[in-house]
Amino acid sequence: MAVTFLDPDECLSPHWEMRQRDHVELVWHKPFEGVGRVRALAWTCDCRAVVYELLQAGGQAFIRKTTQAEPSPKVRETHRWPIEEARRVWRALLLGKMR
């Protein structure tokens, strides 16, 4: 899979900001296989090598990080939070305050 990089002005989804020096490190885990239905609440543009998604499942939310790499993408996820807490983490991630 070739990654195509677009002009940021042509992108429809938001881009994450670069990590701030004093950012908080998130803990990333292998994806949890026991979730049946997952709903995407928000996502970042896929013009970058790393794409983040804010996902909801079973009344909780989490962030999925996909690193687009050959021969296959590398997927990691955070633990689950109440939805409002996950939204706060999502905003911090987009601003580079968490990564």
Query: CA-CA distance, 75 to 77, in Å (whole number)?
Result: 7
Distance of CA 10 to the CA centre of its chain: 20
- The mean per-residue pLDDT over the stretch 85-93 comes to 98
Reply yes or no on whether the pLDDT at 6 is more than 60. no
Q: Confirm if 61 and 87 have CB atoms less than 8 A apart.
A: yes
Q: What is the pLDDT of residue 58?
A: 86
pLDDT band of residue 8 (cuts 50, 70, 90) is low
* Six token digits for residue 44: 């970042």
Q: Which residue has the higher pLDDT, 9 or 5?
A: 9
Q: What is the pLDDT of residue 3?
A: 46
Average per-residue pLDDT for the chain: 90
Q: Confirm if 23 and 98 have CB atoms less than 8 A apart.
A: yes
